[in-house]
């Protein structure tokens, strides 16, 4: 974002905007930048909070009145949050008989079937909005593909981009199903459920390990799981190395 600010301002267009990592803005010095203390992925702070989003935008627009720059200011408010214990409970129990199926394909398909009605409910709550669809495959096709790769213990080295789009569609499907009910969710809690309780999380962890073991493909591992999912091993961080696996 700092680079775009630089080039657009140099071309004669006023720029202002949000910075999520203050140190990066301090270093690159875009013309006008409002640092906000929000989670990565949430530059306006909180979804569906019109008043709060307007306060963030107003603060960034006010930087346009500065007589000289670069200007880096801090937004004074934290994003409104709901205590984890008050967030809606996960509607799905993943301790179901199908999780004992012998193949990854069977387990992933069973999980998909279990989540489908919750995904539909969530989509209805969001008035039809869904981020699923970056890949050109249906969820059934994606689950069969991922399950097949896992059952054969192979990697999709001939189509890494298609694989990445497929797993993002699968993760998005799960996140949208797990947040089917109205309410303020803890993004971290939902991620923990995905990585710690689901067969998809366990399968992605297996892909992560396989890619990590091949030096020229190790970067692909980092595109599968977040640093927090892999790197954190204590406290509230996600410890996917502890995931149960049918093959362990």
Window 116 to 175, contacts with other proteins (CB under 8 A): 126-134, 160-161, 164-165, 168, 171-172, 175
Can you tell me which residue has the tokens 């039809």?
128
Backbone phi and psi for residue 201, each to the nearest 5 degrees, phi listed first:
-60, -45
Tokens of 232: 């954190």
Q: Does 76 bind other proteins (CB under 8 A)?
A: no
Binding mask 81-110 for other proteins (x = CB under 8 A): ------------------------------
Binding mask 187-216 for other proteins (x = CB under 8 A): x--xx-------------------------
Tokens of 107: 């387990």
CB count, 10 Å around CB of 163? Answer: 23
Which range of residues in 5-13, 92-100, 108-116, 240-248 is near other proteins by CB under 8 A? 5-13
**Least CB distance to other proteins at residue 193 (A):** 11
The C-alpha atoms of residue 206 and residue 247 are separated, in whole angstroms, by 10
Q: Which residue among 116, 144, 212, 226 contacts other proteins (CB under 8 A)?
A: 226
Tokens of 95: 């301790």
Q: Between residues 20 and 101, which has the closer beta carbon with respect to other proteins?
A: 20
Neighbouring residues of 24: CB distance < 8 A, sequence distance ≥ 6: 2
**Least CB distance to other proteins at residue 9 (A):** 4
Total site size for other proteins, rule CB under 8 A: 87
Residues 17-36 that bind other proteins (CB under 8 A): 17-24, 26-29, 31
Distances from the Cα of 234 to the Cα of 152, 192, 194, 241, angstroms: 32, 13, 17, 11
Structure letter (DSSP) for residue 54:
H
Classify residue 234 as left (phi > 0), alpha (psi -120 to 50) or beta.
beta
Tokens of 53: 């989003």
Q: Between residues 151 and 168, which has the closer beta carbon with respect to other proteins?
A: 168
**Least CB distance to other proteins at residue 54 (A):** 6
Q: Which residue among 2, 92, 139, 170 contacts other proteins (CB under 8 A)?
A: 2
**Least CB distance to other proteins at residue 89 (A):** 16
- Whether the ω angle into residue 241 lies within 30 degrees of 0, i.e. cis, is no
Residues 35-54 that bind other proteins (CB under 8 A): 37-48, 50, 53-54
Tokens of 136: 């050109």
CB count, 10 Å around CB of 74? Answer: 11
């Amino acid at each position: 974002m700092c680079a775009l600010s630089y080039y657009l301002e140099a071309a004669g267009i006023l720029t202002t905007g949000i910075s999520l990592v203050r140190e990066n803005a301090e270093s690159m010095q875009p013309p006008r930048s409002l640092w906000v203390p929000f989670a990565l992925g949430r530059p306006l702070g909180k979804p569906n909070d019109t008043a709060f989003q307007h306060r963030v935008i107003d603060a960034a627009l006010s930087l346009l009145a500065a007589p000289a720059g670069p200007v880096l200011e801090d937004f004074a408010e934290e994003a409104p949050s709901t205590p984890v214990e008050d967030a809606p409970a996960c509607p799905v129990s993943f301790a179901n008989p199908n999780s004992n199926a012998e193949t990854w394909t069977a387990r992933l398909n069973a999980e998909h079937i279990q989540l489908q009605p919750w995904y539909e409910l969530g989509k209805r709550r969001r008035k039809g909005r869904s981020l699923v669809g970056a890949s050109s495959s249906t969820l059934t096709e994606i689950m069969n593909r991922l399950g097949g790769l896992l059952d054969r213990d192979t990697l999709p080295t001939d189509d890494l981009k298609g694989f990445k789009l497929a797993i993002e569609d699968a993760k998005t499907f799960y996140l949208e199903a797990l947040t089917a009910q109205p309410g303020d969710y803890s993004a971290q809690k939902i991620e923990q459920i995905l990585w710690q309780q689901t067969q998809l999380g366990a399968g992605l962890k297996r892909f992560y390990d396989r890619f990590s073991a091949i030096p020229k493909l190790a970067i692909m591992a980092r595109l599968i799981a977040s640093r927090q999912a892999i790197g954190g091993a204590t406290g509230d961080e996600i410890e996917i190395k502890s995931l149960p696996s049918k093959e362990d």
